[in-house]
Chain A
């Protein structure tokens, strides 16, 4: 933006001071966001005894490969069977499984609600709509009992499918389908395309950007799930990285010996790397998905 007051020398000087002030605030803000993770990274490169003695480290040490190696490949947990690699794989299964499931289910439902004339349309919409009234956290205990009675605890199905019972994606696609020009479906019908052909050949290709945007949001949401995996998976082979954080805290709270600080920080960093990388690399899609889905 051009500053119209910056024609006289005096105003120019004042303008520069205000720019320095603006940048200072932004740099302070960025540091506030960055510093905890930077400290985690530098601390993860030190030996546990050293950290215990001197506190968190502000610069890099020599043990970075050892700590990350232990976090990824050393067998841990109560049963000594789970490694960071297993948890990483489970996190990807949960993140991708949830995102893909969500997109397929909600596109189908939104297509039915927007493009078909049938009696239950309004009723179905309200049934789905009501789910935004109750986040999983509120109905956590009864949900757990239901999963237990069906026998889905300690399975990927029990981990992923109950999380899909919400309306967010359906709303997103409904909103988008409503913005697609009416003429498109008219033209397709004149050309003799049926509902399935219209969906597969026209609507899905048209929604590509929307699908990418919602995929990022949902992947991050699935990856970062904590409470639900904590309840559903007691078998350590099914732990996700975020679920593994709870084990670290537990060991940390009970431990009599020096806690594995470096390794814990390494695992925390691995747990945040994939979702953070996706958000940074696909920033414009991510912002689109976030702002347009309106949650």
Chain B
């Protein structure tokens, strides 16, 4: 807050009212409902509900299927995060280094940010298609019979590739702006001390980029957990049967297809706790980031 703020009484309330009303109706009300209905067993045809305490949660944690989905989510998140961060870092370091065409490369590597995940998913469906897909042809050339939507790990592979494709631009932009904010005198001093490019990167540039990398780590985990919904939904072609899925996709499938309101709500609450933990972790890091710069 500013020291020399205005002391009007009604105006700030009036200014905040629209934002707060929307948040109350479309955020707090549904969030409260989710927590509440996770303790109830609802009749799928809408004939009332029954309080069951923590039964939905204990069912959830005992479920083999949920454990499988959770394991896949973990693996998926790890692979997407690691691959897209590593690729983007390599590209950002090179884009920061080259003298000619830097602007063109920058544009070419960031525009995919604007492509919607399901649109990328649709292109993935075509590229990995059994009949017409070019990637499938490539696999066939190596003697591998690639089957999207039939083979569990084949589908998982396509999901990871498409998710990485979408996520590279954000990581690239942040890494590049992190690199460009390293002062020129630091770079020159590093150049004199350590003429080998490789050693210079790991000893000087990378530690200076660490705050950006930590921040991006959280952003990427959140992305892999939540924003990949459109990619997964398109790649499994509306038929999740034997295909891999993430925790968020399971909330949707159980809630809207399976009509299991209580179970779906309990899953939502579990995810809420997960996001809460991530956010606290992120703020810890942000506090530390201030000390760095």
Contacts and interface: CB of A to CB of B under 8 A. Distances in A.
Q: How large is the interface on B (under 10, 10 to 19, 20 to 34, 35 or more residues)?
A: 35 or more
B27 interface: yes
B2 A146 contact: no
Nearest to A121: B1
Contacts of B219: 295
A165 B26 contact: yes
Interface in B1-23: 1-9, 11-13, 15-16, 18-20, 22-23
A294 B285 CA distance: 13
Contacts of A143: 26, 30
Interface in B116-154: 116-127, 131-134, 137
A39 B256 CA distance: 35
Interface in A91-131: 105-106, 108-109, 111-118, 120-121, 124, 127-128, 130-131
A139 interface: yes
Nearest to A3: B191
B15 to A, nearest CB: 4
B166 to A, nearest CB: 10
Given A138-B251, A146-B30, A246-B234, A111 B256 contact: no
A249 B226 contact: no
A25 B16 contact: no
B61 interface: no
A115 to B, nearest CB: 5
Nearest to B10: A118
B239 A116 contact: no
Interface string B104-119: 0111111111111111
A33 B20 contact: no
Given A55-B134, A224-B117, A182 B27 contact: no
B18 A140 contact: no
Contacts of B107: 280, 283
Contacts, number: 314
A159 interface: no
B75 interface: no
A25 B91 CA distance: 7
B22 A165 contact: yes
A142 B191 contact: no
A33 B34 contact: no
Contacts of B66: none
A88 B103 CA distance: 31
Interface stretch (B50-58, B170-178, B201-209): B170-178
A121 B11 CA distance: 12
Nearest to B231: A226
A7 to B, nearest CB: 12
Given A116-B12, A290-B170, A245 B234 contact: yes
Interface of A: 1, 4-5, 18-19, 22-23, 25-26, 29-30, 32-34, 36-37, 39-40, 43, 51-52, 54-56, 58, 105-106, 108-109, 111-118, 120-121, 124, 127-128, 130-135, 137-143, 145-147, 150, 161-162, 164-166, 170, 178, 182, 185-186, 189, 194-196, 198, 220, 223-224, 226-227, 231, 242, 245-246, 248-250, 252-253, 261, 264-265, 268, 271-272, 275-276, 278-280, 283, 286-287, 290-291, 294-295
24 contacts: A32-B165, A39-B123, A55-B134, A108-B15, A108-B18, A115-B2, A116-B8, A137-B226, A141-B252, A143-B26, A185-B5, A195-B6, A226-B117, A242-B116, A245-B118, A245-B234, A249-B238, A261-B126, A271-B119, A272-B114, A276-B115, A279-B113, A283-B107, A287-B177
